[in-house]
Amino acid sequence: MEEQFQIIVDNRELKSGVVKTLFEKDFRIIPEQLEVGDYILTDKICCERKSVNDFVNSILDNRLFKQAHNLLQNYEKPFIIIEGSENIYAVRNIHPNAIRGAMLSITLDMKIPIIFTKNHHDTASMFETILKRERKQKQLVSLRGERKPLTDKELMEFIITSLPHVGRKTAQNLLNHFKTVKKIINSSPEELINVEGVGKIMSERFQNIINKKYE
């Protein structure tokens, strides 16, 4: 029997149809007050969910790029969902090119995927598909069989990527900055935040794991 999927959900999303549908799909729902994003699927994957109207409003009040930047600083694989069937160019009095420009900046410059879903059922199914894909990829990795021993450099990267929210690119940035695994482990939150790809949440969770007692 396959292990139950779990997802961390921002408290403000608990009354949404997405959470209700995830519960019906037998997801384990973990409510938290999230500083970044609305749904954490894995330690590397986080989603900011917006209705069509909210997405356009977030362009007008300049929230969108701040939220996107925070996603990028704290997660290796962030993405934004725009949920709803409304015409995105007609919900507010804003020039379509402004909306196109914002979407292009997010996807092409910041490398954050934008996924459109029809409704909360579609959004929940998208989360389920992503997690099934992640599980399958992990299974494929475990079935690869023997491989050449890791080089010292690869082993150092492997050690750092085992820490919360740290992907290979961020691990390389950390190692290039601090030079040794020991210096990374001994670094302060303030020093960590100076490294590209490391945000406040990542540094706090990093420090929490480093200093936590094994009980």
Q: Where are the domains of the chain?
A: 6-140, 152-210
Q: Judge whether residue 53 has pLDDT over 90.
A: yes
Confidence tier at 140 by pLDDT (50, 70, 90)? low
CB of 206 closer than 8 Å to CB of 80: no
Predicted pLDDT of residue 147 = 53
Which residues are registered as beta bridge partners of 24? none
Q: What is the mean pLDDT of the chain?
A: 88
The whole-model pTM stands at 0.71
Predicted pLDDT of residue 120 = 96
What lies within 8 Å, CB to CB, of 137 at 6+ separation is: none
Q: For domain 152-210, give the CATH superfamily.
A: 5' to 3' exonuclease, C-terminal subdomain (1.10.150.20)
Which stretch of 22-26, 59-63, 74-78, 113-117 has the lowest confidence by average pLDDT? 74-78
The class (CATH top level) of 6-140 is alpha beta
CB of 158 closer than 8 Å to CB of 144: no
Confidence tier at 151 by pLDDT (50, 70, 90)? confident
Over range 188-209, report the average pLDDT: 80
Confidence tier at 8 by pLDDT (50, 70, 90)? very high
Predicted pLDDT of residue 2 = 66
Phi-psi region of 62 (alpha: psi -120 to 50; beta: other; left: phi over 0): left
Structure letter (DSSP) for residue 7: E
Over range 111-117, report the average pLDDT: 97
Compute the distance between CA of residue 92 and CA of residue 18 in angstroms, rounded to an integer: 25
Asked whether this chain's domains 6-140 and 152-210 adopt the same fold, the reply is no
Predicted pLDDT of residue 1 = 54
Apex 67 CA angle, 87 and 212, nearest 5: 140
Q: What is the identity of the amino acid at 102?
A: A
